[in-house]
Structure 1
Amino acid sequence: MNLLPSLRRGLLLVPLALHAPPALAHLGYPDTTSVTLRRGHPEDLFVGATFGAAVSRDSGKTWSWVCPEAMAYGGWRPETFIWQPNGDLLAATGATLIRSRDGGCSWTVHDYFKSRNLWPMSLAAPASTPSRLWVSTGRAAAPNGVYRSDDGGETFTPTSLQSNTPNAFDNAVYTAVKVAPSDTRRIYVSGGTPGGQRLYRSDDEGATWEEIHQPFPEYADEYSRAYDLFVLRVSDNDPDRLWARVSWKGWTYVLESRDGGRTFQSILHPESQTHDGIDEYLIGMEVSADGNTLWAATPTRLFRVRAGESAATLLPLPDGNACAQREGDVLFVCGATRVHDWALATTTTEGQTYTPLFNLPDLQAPSCPAGTPVHRICRTSWPQFAPTIEANPALPPEEPGDGGTPQPPPPKKGCSATDGLLPAACFLVLSTFRRSRRRNPENRLP
């Protein structure tokens, strides 16, 4: 579909929405952004999204909505979640650490970080010891540090990696924390300081840290230097092998280290191309169990890089939205319902073929018990939200005893801001742009 006529048709709807906030208040298109399986319970799946989350308790056969207003994260959306074996869900939002003790129906902000005005940026827990959590904080011009919990997030204690200088602007920002799966004593933390990018490494579970300066001379000139270093993954089998990303001049580079973070080599540069007005940049990556295949996701596409190949492969799908998460031999991939009719799929062929698992129109109304925030808040919003993803807006009948005290509806935003014309206008805009996004398949390594 030609984009210019689509834009013209969309602009015709603008007058209908002039009296309301921008459509799609939850960060643009309704898209999936991450997938998390409950450890030890693969039938339980939690999918983060720009519109809150979707949860399945039957291996993806049915999905119910969790609205963002009930998740206690305000304007900060978590990039990933951790689902513990006991059913607890946790996520670092960039401003808070949020937790649900009942599988996503009730959410609270962790008081340890809130009371200290700390901003959790990253959260990690090794699969072999899921009750041991690591949190890094990253509030600019403020004290930051790395914190450890040995009781599943009930309590936290600071490690020796702290930044609290007399001049607040000299403090480090700790962007991400990762644990080596094959040696949980090895912890990596990426960070930025006024003096440049740093990687911090511990070989004794955070008791001591080695600071490794990362000058990245290949990403520097007289005007600018590399920024936003994020450690992304550590190899399943080799604690010295890890992957990170760094940015320079608005471009993103995927890096690999095979010597414990002392040196890095660029292995992928998702070239910044503009199509449909969207700039490409890396938002996440995943690697195979042997570390020889890497998938890099941008907001609209998925690249694959195999060891020994001279070029990256741009996979034909997903198109319009992407994320990747590996569980064993299965790769879970986010997609765009508006383009290819699935929002989450699995592949066992490295992205050559997919088995759809979740499509946005199949999302159902919240299914949490009466009295929980998700039941109380999200059911009220469902009839207005459902049409934006072409789902059935009908609510299932309340079960006996579900009444309780009536609650006022939450403030309406975006496509839910008013009754009548505006939801219809938003729906038409979404339909107008459906299947309009196509891309240039070229890509190059640096």
Structure 2
Amino acid sequence: MKLLTSLRCWLVLVPLVLRAAPALAHAGFPDTTSVAVRRDHPEDLFVGATFGAVISRDSGKSWQWLCPEGLGYGGWPPDSYLWQPNGDLLAATGNALLRSRDGGCSWQAHSYFSSRNLWPARLVSPASTPSRLWVVTSRSGTPNGLYRSDDGGETFTDTSLQSADGIFTGVQVAPSDMKRIYVSGQTPAGIRLSRSNDEGVTWTHFPHPFDEYANEFSRPYDFVVLKVSPSNPDHLWARVTAVGWTYILESKDGGQSFQSTLKPPGQARDGLDEYLIGLEVSADGNTLWVATPTRLFRKRAGEAAVLLTLPTGNACVERQPDNSLLMCGADREHGWVLGRTLDEGQTYTPLFALTDIKPPTCPAGTPVHDRCLSRWPQFAESIGITPEPEPVDSGTPGGPKPPAPPAQGCSCSSTGGLFPAACLLAFATLRRFRRRRPENHQP
């Protein structure tokens, strides 16, 4: 019976382990993964995490937990979130475009995409016109395309960039020229970058077989355009993965050609041995910050990449209009999960730690209230917080909240904010098949 139970658990664990790549990249730890600040409202911060998300409406003085069940993304956590000027929140999860109109308490899948079986992969809007949204889709075996909204995501329309047999993996708008748009994708013929100089009316396509890297790039995939220089619309960066390594590529001719640009210290190969979480670029385009799930590199033009001392154990990066950087960190390593640096990563000011997180305060009847409050005691204990007495359910005056459901014997849902020992064991087993990380990666 024990053998059958173990086999049943592994049959459940392995598909989840293979599918939940973002969570596994952090080995199941409660880590932050992205940060979004509302334009013109720096007091509003939204931080994605392996345990859902946290939100602050008071410049980081207080933080409320939003559980994955309340966010409603299931097994498809977003890479990042996007604020709209009116306070709406948006996220492309890979199989839905989610939107919240009430500050994160309720989320709905946008019917434009769900009704057409489209899977939104990336979402972007230009800083100069934040109500204009661009979304690419990437569902294999179905038509995909680039879609545009001019009203902050209320409605969408098709653009002329469509593919019957390809997928689109990324979209970026040049900050210095909002008519310049780049879209990365892959067709049966191979990887390519598409560029528009007229805001999506016409397109030029650049195939990228990467023949010049034939010895390094064996069957490259996951080609994603990441950033365009704030000062030069022809200067952009992308990533591509090959043989388990992530390469950071740079183009200075509007995407016609790319060169490998990131060489972390001590690595024999021109690539990162961890999956890339994010990339940020300075206002002048001369400095890059590249985040993996555990490390942060800084690369200045003409210099080798430097591994920054902090953060360790977890990393993400987002540049602010004042040129400060917000960075994810690992509470278990240095006592904070989000910090700010004013000197390009030399020193940090912690913004909050896991123990600063509070239970959600959304009103009764919203998914975050109804699904997250009952999970709070268990989650709080997992991050080192002694839960306060169970809150009273405002929807039933005087009535206590029902107890949290008991843990199941083979539960391993990473979306519940916890990652039980069984999942860690499964993850550890799979990691044995990964390429060993080079040991001498310190500068």
- TM bucket (normalised to shorter chain) is 0.7 to 0.9
CA contact (8 A) 1:46 1:54 kept: yes
Relative distance call for 1:407 and 1:200 in structure 2 (3 A) is: farther
Q: Where does 1:279-428 land on structure 2 (aligned, <5 Å)?
A: 280-309=274-303, 311-328=304-321, 329-394=323-388, 397-398=391-392, 403=397
Distance in 2 between residues matched to 1:424 and 1:130, nearest whole Å:
36
1:230-288 Cα shifts (integer Å, max 9, x gaps):
00001112111111111121111111111111111211045898xxxx95232211011
Tell me the number of residue pairs that the alignment of Structure 1 and Structure 2 aligns: 407
CA–CA distance in structure 2, aligned partners of residues 222 and 301 of structure 1: 23
TM-score (norm 2): 0.84
SS at match of 2:279: strand
> In 1, are the aligned partners of 2:33 and 2:277 still within 8 Å (CA)?
no
TM-score normalised over the length of structure 1: 0.83
* Pairing of 1:235-246 with structure 2 (within 5 A): 235-246=229-240
Tell me the equivalent position of 2:66. 66
Instruction: Please list every run of 5 or more consecutive structure 2 residues that lacks an aligned counterpart in the other structure.
Output: 1-5, 429-436
Q: Could you say if the C-alpha distance between residues 316 and 105 of structure 1 is closer, same or farther in structure 2, counting changes exceeding 3 Å?
A: same
How far did residue 68 of structure 1 move?
Answer: 0.3
Equivalence for 1:114: 114
**Deviation (angstroms), 1:402:** 6.0
Mapped partners of 1:222, 1:320: distance in 2: 28
Q: Which residue of 2 aligns with 1:200?
A: 194
* Structure 1 unmatched runs, 5+: 1-14, 165-170
CA contact (8 A) 2:176 2:230 kept: yes
Identity of matched residues, %: 62
Distance 1:323 1:380 in 2: 30
Which range moves more in the overlay, 390-399 or 344-353?
Answer: 390-399
Tell me how far apart the structure 2 counterparts of residues 19 and 193 of structure 1 sit (CA, whole Å). Answer: 35
**Amino acid in structure 2 at the alignment position of 1:151:** D
- Report the residue type matching 1:318 in the other structure: P
Q: Deviations over 1:204-250 (max 9, x none)?
A: 11111111111211332599332211000011121111111111211
Letter aligned with residue 88 of structure 1: D
- Secondary structure at the counterpart of residue 361 of structure 1: helix
Cross-structure match for 2:441: 442
One-letter amino acid of the structure 2 residue matched with residue 377 of structure 1: R
CA contact 2:51–2:67 (8 Å) conserved in 1: yes
Q: Please give the residue correspondences for 1:171-190 in structure 2 after superposition, counting only pairs within 5 Å.
A: 171-190=165-184
Cα gap change, 1:417 to 1:217, in 2 (>3 Å): closer
SS at match of 1:174: strand
8 Å CA contact 1:219, 1:225 repeated in 2: no
Distance 1:403 1:321 in 2: 42
Structure 1 residue aligned with 2:223: 229
Cα separation, 2, equivalents of 1:408 and 1:144:
45
Q: In structure 2, what is the equivalent of residue 42 of structure 1?
A: 42
Q: CA RMSD in A?
A: 3.3
Q: Displacement, 1:411?
A: 8.8
* Other-structure match for 1:8: none
Tell me how far apart the structure 2 counterparts of residues 413 and 357 of structure 1 sit (CA, whole Å): 35
The residue type paired with residue 85 of structure 1 is P
Instruction: Give per-residue Cα distances to partners, 1:24-62, cap 9 Å, x unaligned.
Output: 996511110000001111001000000000001111111
Amino acid at match of 2:248: V
